[in-house]
């Protein structure tokens, strides 16, 4: 049995080679995240090539998620990983020296004041500004942890505002579009305008990536509905969200964001510190396993690993822990939508309801854009979901949608029987019966929505 909740894994020094990528796919990875805070375009292009080749060789549907940096403030000029202790003094300046490190937006130091709190590395290191002398700040460590080059800096009490897309982001978006990435995660989204700008750049560059909004700012929470509506998918970026909105708000914010995404049939990824202990340990903590299970029960479409697979010592085991936890949890999920299906999703809902009554091995969706597929997934059928599409670029994108077990591209067909025959042949399926819901296919043979029940007698007639 395959997990209905999908697995996203970040590639990095521990896994950035073809053999590691293959092992991760075999362990259960559906989507690989490329962090564009690190690496060159040439390096990322080579990684994308390795992912595509590995997926083809293994016969798996695997997607590529490009995660652009955004205006995130990061540690600069530190040189090496440093373990800091409670009460220790650190120095941060506009220009890095032997004594002080800097940040990627050094002029922001002018706006900081004594007594203000700063957080590093997804909020794991908490410091307070003790002194400010010229361009240099003296910081006192309140919560110990690890500081490293490129780690994020959060200033939750500051009124500093930065555009969601930097010049580097725009260049990265153009690169990603030409490289054919399947998803683009936009960091530090504040409004729907950030999503629209990213989408415009991707389209102008010849790409068709789905845009994923990372929810990590207070301003994003204030405009959550409009951001979800404007996006193709959403990421609950719990690290920066905790540092920005408050650590103790994260559990309920996670549930709220997932609920809104479920209602709007938008795929949602739960990310950050799912299995942090497995960066250095072959075993998870019980609390981490419970966290994964809770995300599954909340209704997330996917869960994501970051350092665990990028720099961790046990990347394959971390993926296996995710997979096993999902499998042990998913059958206990009972998703009952609080809202009635609206008219455009009535057929998808009907197919799911029928699957509870009539003998069927799976539910399939005939879809051009993925709309029908997403709404079929919204109602969380207990049976596997298969997608059929004339749009070949949709195949990898289905890797993010809850419950989708496979997708087949059939670009040309003359009749429903021919389509059914080709679908079952390509998907290597021999069902006794299944359900098919059709969506809008433009000029194709199906001109309207429908739900079809196809049993063995029907199947024999397609031979």
pLDDT tens sequence across 387-397: 999 999 999 99
Task: Please report which helix (H) or strand (E) contains residue 304, including its range.
Answer: strand 302-305
CA distances for 41 relative to 14, 44, 48, 62, 172, angstroms: 19, 5, 10, 20, 8
- Quote the CA–CA distance of 320 and 7 in Å, as a whole number: 10
**Which residues are bridge partners to 63 per DSSP?**
31
pTM of the model: 0.88
Angle subtended at Cα 5 by Cα 302 and Cα 337, rounded to the nearest 5 degrees: 95
Contact assessment for residue 428 and residue 447, using Cβ atoms and an 8 Å cutoff = no
Catalytic, out of 10, 61, 272, 398: 272
Q: Compute the average pLDDT of residues 296-303.
A: 97
Sign of CA dihedral 48, 50, 53, 58: negative
Q: Compute the average pLDDT of residues 142-166.
A: 83
**Which residues are bridge partners to 152 per DSSP?**
74
**pLDDT at site 337:** 57
Intervals of CATH 3.20.20.60 along the chain: 6-70+164-330
- Quote the CA–CA distance of 92 and 272 in Å, as a whole number: 26
Contact assessment for residue 68 and residue 185, using Cβ atoms and an 8 Å cutoff = yes
**pLDDT at site 55:** 98
- Quote the CA–CA distance of 66 and 185 in Å, as a whole number: 6
Token reading at 136: 């240099």
- Quote the CA–CA distance of 126 and 139 in Å, as a whole number: 10
Could you tell me which CATH class the domain 343-461 is placed in? alpha beta
**Closest listed residue to residue 34, CA positions, set 336, 412, 318, 310:** 310
Annotation says 438 is catalytic: no
Residue with structure tokens 């003296």?
Answer: 138
Confidence of residue 74 (pLDDT cuts 50, 70, 90): confident
Tell me which of 73-77, 307-311, 357-361, 456-460 is least confident: 456-460
pLDDT digits over 428-449, tens only? 999 999 999 987 665 565 656 8
**pLDDT at site 462:** 52
Q: Crossing angle, helix 315-330 and helix 18-27, to 10 degrees?
A: 20
Average pLDDT in the chain: 92
Residue 63 DSSP code: E
Residue 237, SS3 per DSSP: strand
Q: Between residues 161 and 149, which one has the greater pLDDT?
A: 149
Catalytic, out of 4, 22, 33, 374: 33
Catalytic, out of 22, 72, 214, 238: 214
Residue with structure tokens 């019966």?
Answer: 433
Could you tell me which CATH class the domain 6-70+164-330 is placed in? alpha beta
C-alpha count within 13 angstroms, C-beta hemisphere, residue 165? 23
Catalytic, out of 18, 52, 60, 74: 74
Annotation says 33 is catalytic: yes
Intervals of CATH 2.40.33.10 along the chain: 73-154
Annotation says 217 is catalytic: no
Q: 73-154, superfamily in CATH?
A: PK beta-barrel domain-like (2.40.33.10)
- Quote the CA–CA distance of 391 and 4 in Å, as a whole number: 23
Phi, psi dihedrals of residue 418, rounded to the nearest 5°: -65, -45
Residue with structure tokens 């259960």?
Answer: 28
**Beta-sheet strand order (sheet of 117-120):** 89-93, 136-143, 125-133, 117-120, 152-154, 73-76, 102-103
Annotation says 389 is catalytic: no
Q: Compute the average pLDDT of residues 121-133.
A: 91
Residue 449, SS3 per DSSP: coil
Task: Please report which helix (H) or strand (E) contains residue 33, including its range.
Answer: strand 31-35
**Beta-sheet strand order (sheet of 385-389):** 404-409, 385-389, 363-366, 433-438, 450-455
């Amino acid at each position: 049995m395959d997990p209905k909740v999908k697995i996203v894994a970040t590639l990095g020094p521990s896994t950035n080679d073809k053999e590691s990528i293959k092992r991760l796919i075999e362990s259960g990875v559906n989507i690989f995240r490329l962090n564009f805070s690190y690496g060159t375009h040439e390096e990322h292009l080579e990684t994308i090539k390795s992912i595509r080749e590995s997926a083809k060789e293994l016969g798996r549907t695997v997607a590529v998620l490009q995660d652009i940096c955004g205006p995130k403030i990061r540690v600069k000029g530190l040189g090496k990983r440093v373990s800091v202790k409670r009460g220790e003094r650190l120095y941060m300046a506009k220009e890095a020296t032997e004594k002080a490190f800097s940040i990627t937006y050094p002029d922001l130091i002018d706006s900081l004041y004594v007594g203000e709190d700063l957080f590093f590395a997804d909020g794991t290191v908490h410091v307070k500004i003790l002194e400010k002398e010229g361009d240099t700040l003296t910081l006192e460590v309140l919560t110990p942890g690890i500081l490293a080059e490129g780690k994020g800096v959060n200033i939750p009490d500051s009124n500093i505002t930065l555009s969601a897309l930097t010049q580097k982001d725009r260049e990265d978006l153009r690169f990603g579009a030409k490289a054919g990435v399947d998803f683009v995660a936009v960091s530090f989204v504040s409004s729907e305008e950030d999503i629209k700008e990213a989408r415009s750049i991707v389209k102008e560059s010849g790409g068709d990536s789905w845009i994923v909004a990372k929810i990590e700012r207070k301003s994003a929470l204030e405009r959550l509905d409009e951001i979800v509506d404007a996006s193709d998918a959403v990421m609950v970026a719990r690290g920066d969200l905790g540092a920005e909105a408050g650590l103790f708000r994260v559990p309920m914010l996670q549930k709220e964001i997932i609920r809104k995404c479920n209602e709007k049939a938008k795929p949602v990824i739960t990310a950050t510190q799912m299995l942090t202990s497995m960066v250095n340990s072959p075993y998870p903590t019980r609390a981490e396993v419970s966290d994964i299970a809770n995300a599954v029960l909340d209704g997330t479409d996917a869960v994501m690993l970051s350092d665990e697979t990028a720099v961790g010592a046990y990347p394959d085991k971390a993926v296996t822990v995710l997979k096993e936890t999902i499998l042990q949890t998913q059958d206990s999920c009972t998703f009952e939508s609080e809202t009635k299906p609206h008219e455009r999703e009535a057929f998808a809902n009907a197919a799911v309801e029928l699957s509870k009554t009539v003998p069927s091995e799976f539910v399939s969706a005939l879809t051009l854009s993925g709309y029908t597929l997403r709404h079929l997934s919204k109602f969380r059928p207990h049976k596997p979901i298969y997608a059929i599409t004339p749009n070949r670029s949709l195949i990898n994108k289905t890797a993010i949608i809850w419950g989708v077990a496979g997708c087949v591209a059939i670009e040309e067909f003359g009749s429903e029987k021919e389509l059914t025959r080709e679908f079952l042949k390509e998907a290597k399926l021999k069902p006794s019966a299944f359900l098919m819901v059709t969506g809008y296919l433009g000029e194709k043979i199906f001109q309207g929505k429908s739900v079809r029940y196809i049993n063995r007698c029907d199947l024999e007639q397609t031979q």
